[in-house]
Amino acid sequence: MIEVENLCKNFTKPILTKVLREISFTLETGTWTSLMGPSGSGKSTLLSLLAGLDTPTSGSLKLLNQEISVFSEEEKATFRAKNLGFIFQNFRLLPSLSVEENIRVPLEILGKVSSEQDKWVSELIERVGLSHRQTHFPSQLSGGEQQRVAVARAFSTKPAILLADEPTGNLDDENSEKILDLLSSLQNTFASTLFVVSHDPAVAERAHTRLVLHKGHLSQEFPQVISK
């Protein structure tokens, strides 16, 4: 599902900085991987590369058996829309749209507007426990509720791969646990490959595979991971 081999990323301004150094790992379909490490270790850079938002300096990066690093920007955007879901620490909900409308956005980008998709969105809203908030706007929701909307939106296209950046970072312990339960439930339902960047030890405990980055290197390796 995700194959990374000898991946390097350098930044040249203001000085040459080697952010990722020969990173290699393979993640199987339907697994949950957590990526941990101190600030500045390269976690966000690796996530951006997996999302096709940046291009590696060298090495191979395959998602769904496709080498995305050679895609054009248009090809990357199409690939993301069809195959990837995203969850962000700060939710990134559109303030002028309701819960239902926010969840529908990825489907509309793909041109999937139908009564069947409306039914699917309603089912997702029920799955995340927000049926009573369906017409509410983000400003009318708690932080935990906003993150549940973000999770539902991420799964709306039933993505093969879901990338999450600190999904519990702005939540208290109780809401963090609820979000992790929700992620686990939906991931099992859709067999999505889940890749989560987090400082939260509770996230690592849920993962099938745990990676730790330190100064651009994978400093630890776990089952299901090959590090060279």
CA distance 213 to 36: 6
pLDDT at 179 over 70: yes
In total, how many domains does the chain have?
1
State pLDDT tens for residues 60-103: 999 999 999 899 999 999 999 999 999 988 899 999 999 999 99
| Percent of the chain residues topping a pLDDT of 90 | 63
Q: Could you list the residue range(s) of the whole structural domain that residue 129 is in?
A: 29-56+72-208
* Domain annotation covers residue 42: yes
| SS3 assignment, position 121 | helix
Q: Which pLDDT band, with edges at 50, 70 and 90, does 228 fall under? A: very low
* Domain annotation covers residue 7: no
pTM confidence score: 0.88
Q: What is the pLDDT of residue 199?
A: 84
